Amino acid sequence: MATALQFAQKPEPWVKQYFSKPFQAIWHELNGAYVFELATGEQTPSHSIQKVKTFTPSSQEKAFVWAQLAKNVENACIRARKYTLAAQRVVIFLRTQHFRDVGREVELSGPTHFPTDILRAVLPVFEALFDASMPYRATGVILLKLSEAYYGQLDLFGEAIRMQRLSNLYESLDTLREKYGKHTVFLGASYLAHTHAQHDGERGHLPERQRELLPGETARKRLGIPMLKVFHMCWTSQRTRPNSYRFMQSPITRSCICSVLEKQIVRRTNRLMRVRRLRCFLSIFWVFSCPT
């Protein structure tokens, strides 16, 4: 079995015998049965935004843990700016090596979605929570009391003007992020988190798609095309093994997922061809509109 068509042509009892429920749902979709709902509307605004990241090995270095927290704040603010939301309250917490969380809620002076304002407000709280004798393995931030971001109303102290300038600045940063990848420009507070690997050892092993980059790709900016590699499956040697071992240790899972995504690649290719035709038409129009 090397293609999605061969997988779709298999009988249903065979699929139920050798595959788990997610792969059975994919089999039904390939055969025209409605399983997954199609979301056509816009995403509803979130009531809260949470970003948590684990890093290994655990660290007792204050600057490194603060950098990890600052990176989470940046990620949460990126999501808030994407949906034009601003937070009035922030919760930060630190997770120790023994999975014990310590945190505190901070009331901001006003609604904001800029990481500089949030980091300035949570720095004293971080100083009080951090214990140099405890190794930490994760940091997290939660943005609460979200509302629509609006900085048009002027005040007597010039705060609205400062917020509008920050809004213009981060709008440019978001444009760079969309063009060159996430965290192309980041705060100096999160420098250690960006220059060090998130995980060391076995957890730091990157998947093959991230290691074998296509021409022009970077670690932060890649095309939405999966790495298609077909693996030969030997069913005779796997029938005596339990399902958990067969689907977690063998290449069956990756092989079937890659095969099913062929249809998605065809759609992306057709979309790219339409965009190129439109650009070609615009270039011809430009030549005729500006004759030499």
162: in domain? yes
Count of other CB atoms within 10 angstroms of residue 107:
10
40: in domain? no
284: in domain? no
The structural domain count of the chain equals: 1
233: in domain? no
163: in domain? yes
Cα–Cα distance for residue pair 68/138, rounded to 1 Å: 8
176: in domain? yes
CATH code for the domain in which residue 111 is found: 3.30.1490.100
Q: What is the mean pLDDT of each successive set of 10 residues along the chain, which is 292 residues long?
A: 83 88 86 78 74 89 93 92 89 92 90 90 93 92 86 60 80 84 84 82 69 73 59 44 50 55 69 70 53 50
239: in domain? no
Instruction: List the alpha helices (DSSP H) in 231-289.
Output: 243-249, 252-260, 262-289
227: in domain? no
pLDDT of residue 127: 93
pLDDT of residue 236: 42
Q: Which domain holds residue 63?
A: 49-195
For the record, the structure tokens of 179 come out as 């063009």
pLDDT of residue 83: 87
Count of other CB atoms within 10 angstroms of residue 140:
21
